[in-house]
Structure 1
Amino acid sequence: MGCRISELVIDADDAERLAAFRSEVPGYADIEREDDGSIAIGPAGDGFGGPQPILVISPSPDPRPRKLRLHIDVSPTDRDQEAEFERLLTLGAVPADVGQTGGESRHVPADPEGNEFCLLRRRVRPV
């Protein structure tokens, strides 16, 4: 296994409101709040890297065409991020330019149909 889904990221006009709703539906708790206004929620006690993906509600009034309001983040399980990125490129992913500066902790590839997703640096255990 090379990687697994660790986050589902939902773009939102009002991240606070959507996170409150998405937390209440399954009974999730806030896990982490980022300086950019993103709110990570998930099962209490499991947090990032647990057996199910966490939800990240991200403020984004981004009007880019073809940008999905939901994208999937994956994390490597049995190799480092660079090796997993190379594996994804071999499978048909292509690097995507979303304005990265080079200092990010994630790679942003796009799948063969152009849908962007993130490959995170932090490894998670296989499930």
Structure 2
Amino acid sequence: MACRISELVLECRDPEALARFWCEVLDFVVLDREGDGSLEIGPREGFGGPQPTIILSRTDEPQRGKPRLHIDVNATDRDQDAELERLLKLGARPAEVGQTGEEPWHVLADPEGNEFCLLRARLNPL
């Protein structure tokens, strides 16, 4: 028997704003709100499905250094260029991490500066 990823936890200053962004990016919904302002977003079928949920954990501590984990996303219903345009309109911004410009992916940052990559391949929706 093996494990599988069920949740990703992302510490952030404004969980509500980040939830709006990531729900639009991933077609997720808010699944749960905690009293401390943290919340969980995920696919409409909820926790335990084929995709992990994301816990947006409220913190006022500044980020220390570069995170060692980032999220990669793939478009499901359009090509990479069209998806890049959509993500930028949602509030993503280009991020510089030492790319050469020859990569088949785009490095972006969410509204709080968390880096993520938009990969080229289009995936089938779940």
TM-score where L is the length of structure 1: 0.50
Indicate the RMSD between aligned Cα atoms, in angstroms.
2.0
Alignment partner of 1:89 is 2:66 = no
Map 1:1-127 to 2 at 5 A: 25-26=2-3, 52=51, 66-127=65-126
Offset of residue 76 of structure 1: 0.6
Give unpaired runs (5+ residues) of structure 2: 5-49, 53-63
- Choose between structure 1 and 2: higher strand proportion: 1
Give unpaired runs (5+ residues) of structure 1: 1-23, 28-50, 54-64
Misfit runs of 4+, over 4 Å: none
Aligned residues: 70
Offset of residue 52 of structure 1: 4.9
Q: Larger relative CO (CA 8 A, sep 6+): 1 or 2?
A: 1
Offset of residue 25 of structure 1: 4.6
Offset of residue 66 of structure 1: 3.3
Offset of residue 26 of structure 1: 2.1
In structure 1, what residue type is equivalent to 2:98? Answer: G
Write the distance in 2 (CA, Å) between the matches of 1:118 and 1:82: 13
Write the distance in 2 (CA, Å) between the matches of 1:82 and 1:66: 30
In structure 1, what residue type is equivalent to 2:118? Answer: L
In structure 1, what residue type is equivalent to 2:3? Answer: P
TM-score where L is the length of structure 2: 0.50
In structure 2, what residue type is equivalent to 1:91? Answer: L
3-state DSSP class of the match of 1:87? helix
